[in-house]
Chain A
Amino acid sequence: QSLLTQPPSVSGAPGQRVTISCTGSSSNIGAGYDVHWYQQLPGTAPRLLIYNDNKRPSGVPDRFSGSKSGTSASLAITGLQAEDEAHYYCQSYDRSLSGAWVFGGGTKLTVL
């Protein structure tokens, strides 16, 4: 059971906006630790999409945005495109159990 909870799946039509939630606790997101988001296309390594809650690495389109409030974070994708169909994972740091970098269980985005 992941310490960060994500919905197993979300879907949207091309051009629409979708959001993916990541719910943590007072030992990770709620403690103020940064949240990062990754996109994983089939057969490839995860790619950093959002870091430090809401920053985009160079090369990531501004259609992707991140936010955080309390013990939760969200990834928003606007102007949905077919190539956005992938698995998305949130990640943070958890201070329990002597500390660990933790990932959410992942969300499969389907573009209808």
Chain B
Amino acid sequence: QITLKESGPTLVKPTQTLTLTCTFSGFSLSTSGVGVGWIRQPPGKAPEWLALIYWNDDKRYSPFLKSRLTITKDTSKNQVVLTMTNMDQVDTATYFCARMYSSGWNPWGQGTLVTVSS
């Protein structure tokens, strides 16, 4: 059974850096073809893809947020970490991690709500 779970702060202040960790089980990020991504969903809005890291450390970023995002992996710990700098109120959202499945996402973690407020 494949599972993913997000962890990190629930509240960050404007201008701070957000660090989220995705801990997964049931697959290995050292297996050829495997990728893990981050997707966020503001309240009442559609999901928005943020970043993706592949088994070979190839990294892809949303062109709209590329300057603020960094994605890394720790294969031995089965973890993927996302950092987003210069947080703003508009970044308030539920942040999900998910395994890449074909060119879609399956499964998703339960998500973690991050609120940006002073």
**Interface residue B55 (Cβ < 8 Å from any Cβ of A):** no
* Residue positions of A touching B, CB distance < 8 A: 2, 33-34, 36, 38, 44-48, 51-52, 57, 89, 91-93, 97-106
Query: Contact between B63 and A97 (Cβ–Cβ < 8 Å)?
Result: yes
Given A45-B96, A45-B110, A48-B107: A101 in contact with B49 (beta carbons within 8 A) = yes
7 A-B pairs closest in CB distance: A36-B104, A48-B106, A45-B108, A101-B49, A97-B63, A106-B46, A103-B47
8 pairs from A and B in contact (CB 8 Å cutoff): A33-B103, A34-B103, A44-B110, A46-B96, A51-B106, A93-B103, A100-B62, A103-B49
Chain B residues within CB distance 8 Å of chain A? 37, 45-49, 52, 60, 62-64, 96, 101-111
- Asked whether A103 lies within 8 Å of B106 as measured between CB atoms, the reply is no
Chain B nearest Cβ from A43, distance in angstroms: 10
Complex contacts, B62 vs chain A, CB 8 Å:
100
When distances are taken between beta carbons in the complex, the residues of chain B under 8 Å from A34 are: 102-104
**Minimum C-beta distance from A74 to chain B (A):** 16
Q: How far is the CA of A47 from the CA of B105 in the complex (A)?
A: 9
Max chain A Cβ within 10 angstroms of own Cβ: one of B63, B96, B110: B63
- How many Å lie between the Cα of A57 and that of B52 in the bound state? 22
CB distance from A58 to the nearest CB of B (A): 11
A98 in contact with B47 (CB, 8 Å):
no
Q: Which one, A2, A48, A104, A106, contacts B104 given CB within 8 A?
A: A48
Q: Which residue of A lies closest to B62 (CB)?
A: A100
CB–CB A89/B103 < 8 A: no
Check B47–A48 contact: CB distance below 8 A.
no
